[in-house]
Amino acid sequence: MKKFLTPFFLITVLALVAGCNSSRNNNTTAGVKIELIGLARASDGSTRVSWRVVNPNVISYLVSQATHRIYLNGVLVGTVKDREPLAVTAQAHTDVTSVMTSAGPAGDSALAAAATAGSATYRVESAIVVQLYGEMIDKSDLTATGTVPVTAK
């Protein structure tokens, strides 16, 4: 019986350890949020997105890159790819304005309708890369929803 229990115990421990290592939970940036704070369509046709990184934690972060997929009223209107490093201090927020790449005619129509209404409900799906130590990075996928003011000039 002892010969049976030892291999069984080892296999059980290995399975538990392997399960812990493959966990996709991200504790490094727990609590960090991305919010949209405004969209503005310029007369030249470009769209500027103002977004915010909220850090409730007691440590600061360096966001080395961020990518956002922006939906207004359920329609994908565009994407933002920001590769400028962004320092986010502890228990604070940092605001950024970036140029959005249009998702096409359906997105442009949804953006125009939102500008006419003055605001829209949004969903933003973000992927951020946080620089930890030297070359060590941490990737986080974040999703947020809310209402955002939309303007056109």
Examine residue 21 and state whether it is found in any structural domain, yes or no. Answer: no
Structural domain containing residue 48? 31-152
Q: Write down the pLDDT at residue 12.
A: 55
CA distances from 118 to 60, 72, 150 (A): 34, 12, 5
Residue 148, helix vs strand vs coil: strand
Examine residue 147 and state whether it is found in any structural domain, yes or no. Answer: yes
Q: Are 125 and 143 in contact (CB under 8 A)?
A: yes
The pTM of the full predicted model, rounded to 2 decimals, is 0.78
Examine residue 98 and state whether it is found in any structural domain, yes or no. Answer: yes
Q: Write down the pLDDT at residue 18.
A: 43
Examine residue 2 and state whether it is found in any structural domain, yes or no. Answer: no
Phi, psi of 142 (to 5 degrees): -125, 145
Per the structure, the count of domains in the chain is: 1
In whole angstroms, give the CA distance from residue 69 to residue 85: 19
Q: Write down the pLDDT at residue 36.
A: 95
Sorted by sequence, the CB contacts under 8 Å of residue 78 that are 6+ apart come out as 47, 49, 70, 100, 101, 102, 103, 107, 111
Examine residue 97 and state whether it is found in any structural domain, yes or no. Answer: yes
Phi, psi of 89 (to 5 degrees): -75, 165
Examine residue 15 and state whether it is found in any structural domain, yes or no. Answer: no
Q: Write down the pLDDT at residue 8.
A: 53
Examine residue 10 and state whether it is found in any structural domain, yes or no. Answer: no
pLDDT tens, N- to C-terminus, the chain (153 residues): 556 555 555 555 444 444 443 334 456 677 899 999 999 999 888 999 999 999 999 988 899 999 999 999 999 999 999 999 899 999 999 999 999 999 999 999 999 999 999 999 999 999 999 888 777 888 999 999 999 999 988
CATH number for 46: 2.60.40.1820
Examine residue 71 and state whether it is found in any structural domain, yes or no. Answer: yes
